[in-house]
């Protein structure tokens, strides 16, 4: 099964000048320590809002890649409805789904028991919804979604990781300043 | 001048074409005016915290916008206000229908309506309770948001509508 490290390596292999917004916790840390760039915006608070911040950003001129977690998505479930309605054509909503709150100790959540995120996304009007669980599939689909001009929801099934990262070294104000300058 | 016209005129005067809206009874005329005017892009949301995230993302993209909600929804926003807007210094301007304040009929609106000014003050959030159609105070908050990148909350008392 795919792990987060591999998934992010594949994603960032194809990213060029798009902006990337990352979810609080291990996703932000993993991206910062392995794929830092000026056009990354790391959320270190306000869990759940990465898809909303990404949607707001999509009204600018750059394509937006949202790197969300399944636990975070559950916190802002209404975002599925809002994004299913507006379908911002320059946004890809990636959900790194490992079925748990990994950052807080790996507690199991409903995405590993009862909830089918792709099915829910489709039923919220997100017609371009995909679930993948292998490096091969991700290598096939992600560059296609980058080139397309339509809103996409990409659920990436991952095995949980116990990789630990130090905290992000840049402060929020510097992150914001650097990010805005890159747009 | 009626409140909704005053708001629309101000937004156009300052070229603010985008707004995030969680529809509310007090602001329904503002909503229907904005939705019906092709000058404006309105994003209707499902919850206030979500709307604050969208407003903040738009601001990062260089798009000023106004966030219209009911005042009770500010209670759903405090974590985002602190860990997104304050932490990253992303300003917002909330125009909220103030519930639990003037002639409130719903008892359950009253506790938060009474708490809210104290919560805003203790959070160092600049706010004003608008009790008559005074264009100047709203314009001042719009100017502060645009030119000074400051955050503000306007609580619109129902007596204004």
Write the ipTM. Answer: 0.96
Please name the member of B49, B58, B80 whose beta carbon is closest to the beta carbon of A56.
Answer: B58
A98-110 pLDDT, tens digit per residue, is 998 888 888 889 9
Work out whether the CA dihedral A93, A99, A101, A102 comes out positive or negative.
negative
CA distance A134 to chain B (A): 31
Neighbours of B154 (CB within 10 A): 23
Nearest-by-Cβ selection for A56 from B46, B57, B88? B57
Residue whose pair of structure tokens reads 């301007």 in the numeric block:
B93
Could you read off the pLDDT of A21-37 as tens digits, one per residue? 999 999 999 999 999 99
Answer whether B18 sits within 8 Å of A57, measured CB to CB: no
Distance CA A107, CA A47 (A): 16
Nearest-5° Cα angle at A115, B76 to A67: 65
Residue B113: predicted pLDDT:
97
Residues of B in Cβ contact (< 8 Å) with A179:
60
Is residue B70 a contact partner of residue B95, using CB atoms and an 8 Å limit? Answer: no
Our CA-based measurement puts residue B104 at a distance from the nearest CA of chain A, in whole angstroms, of 29
- Asked whether the beta carbons of residue B84 and residue A176 sit closer than 8 angstroms, the reply is no
CB contact under 8 A, A172 and B62: no
Interface touch A53/B62, C-beta < 8 Å: no
Distance of CA B44 to the CA centre of its chain: 13
pLDDT computed for residue B140 by the predictor? 96
User: For chain A, what percentages of helix, strand and coil (3-state, to nearest 5) are there?
Assistant: 45, 20, 35
Contact B88 A180 (CB under 8 A): no
Per-residue pLDDT tens digits of chain B, which is 161 residues long: 789 999 999 999 999 999 999 999 999 999 999 999 999 999 999 999 999 999 999 999 999 999 999 999 999 999 999 999 999 999 999 999 999 999 999 999 999 999 999 999 999 999 999 998 767 899 999 999 999 999 999 999 999 98
Across the interface, whether the CB atoms of B61 and A57 are under 8 A apart is answered yes
A174 contact B CB<8A: no
Pick from A62, A124, A123, A117: nearest CA to A94:
A117
The candidate with the shortest Cα–Cα distance to B85, out of B51, B127, B46, is B51
pLDDT higher than threshold 80 for residue A177: yes
Contacts of A111 (CB under 8 A, 6+ apart): A70, A71, A74, A97, A99, A117
DSSP per-residue letters across B76-130: G-HHHIIIIIIHHT---EEEEE--SSSS---GGGHHHHHHHHHHHHHTT-EEEEE
pLDDT for position A102: 85
Q: How many CB atoms lie within 10 A of CB A144?
A: 11
% chain B with pLDDT above 90: 95
Give the nearest partner residue to B57 out of A55, A86, A173, using CB atoms: A55
Given an 8 Å threshold on Cβ–Cβ distance, is B43 in contact with A172? no
Side-chain-side CA neighbours of residue A140 (13 Å): 8
Q: Which residues does chain B have within 8 Å of residue A173's beta carbon, measured at their own beta carbons? A: 88-89
Taking the C-alpha atoms of residue B81 and residue B56, their distance in angstroms, rounded to an integer, is 10
What does each C-alpha distance from B32 to A28, A173, B35, B90 come to in angstroms?
39, 37, 5, 28
**Which two structure tokens, joined as six digits, stand for A10?**
């594949």
Taking only the tens place, the pLDDT of each residue in A2-28 is 999 999 999 999 999 999 999 999 999
Task: Choose among A168, A176, A155: nearest CA to A35.
Answer: A168
- Contact between B48 and B23 under an 8 Å Cβ cutoff? The reply is no
């Amino acid at each position: 099964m795919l792990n987060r490290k591999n998934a992010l390596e594949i994603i960032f292999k194809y990213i060029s000048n798009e902006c990337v917004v990352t979810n609080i916790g291990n996703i932000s840390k993993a991206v910062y320590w392995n794929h830092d760039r000026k056009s990354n915006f790391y959320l270190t608070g306000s869990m759940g809002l990465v898809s909303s911040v990404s949607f707001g950003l999509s009204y600018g001129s750059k394509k937006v890649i949202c790197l969300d977690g399944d636990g975070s998505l559950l916190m802002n479930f209404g975002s599925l409805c809002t994004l299913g309605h507006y379908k911002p054509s320059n946004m890809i909503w990636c959900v790194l789904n490992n079925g748990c709150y990994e950052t807080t100790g790996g507690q199991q959540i409903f995405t590993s028991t009862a909830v089918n995120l792709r099915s829910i996304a489709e039923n919220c009007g997100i017609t371009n919804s995909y679930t993948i669980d292998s490096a091969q599939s991700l290598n096939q689909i992600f560059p296609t979604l980058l080139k397309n001009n339509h809103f996409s929801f990409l659920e990436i099934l991952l095995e949980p990781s116990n990789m630990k990262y130090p905290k992000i070294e840049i402060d929020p104000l510097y992150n914001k300043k650097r990010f805005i300058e890159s747009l | 001048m009626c409140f909704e016209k005053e708001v629309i005129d101000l937004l156009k005067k300052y070229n603010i074409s985008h707004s995030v809206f969680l529809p509310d009874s007090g602001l329904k005329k503002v909503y229907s005016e904005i939705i019906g005017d092709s000058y404006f892009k309105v994003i209707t949301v499902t919850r206030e915290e979500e709307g604050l995230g969208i407003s903040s993302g738009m601001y990062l993209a260089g798009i000023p916008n106004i966030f219209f909600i009911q005042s009770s929804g500010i209670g759903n926003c405090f974590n985002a206000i602190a860990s997104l807007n304050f932490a990253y210094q992303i300003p917002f301007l909330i125009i909220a229908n103030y519930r639990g304040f003037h002639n409130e009929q719903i008892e359950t609106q009253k506790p938060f309506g009474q708490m809210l000014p104290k919560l805003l003050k203790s959070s160092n959030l600049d706010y004003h309770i608008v009790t008559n159609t005074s264009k100047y105070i709203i314009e001042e908050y719009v100017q502060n948001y645009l030119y000074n990148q400051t955050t503000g909350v306007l609580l619109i008392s129902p007596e204004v509508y």
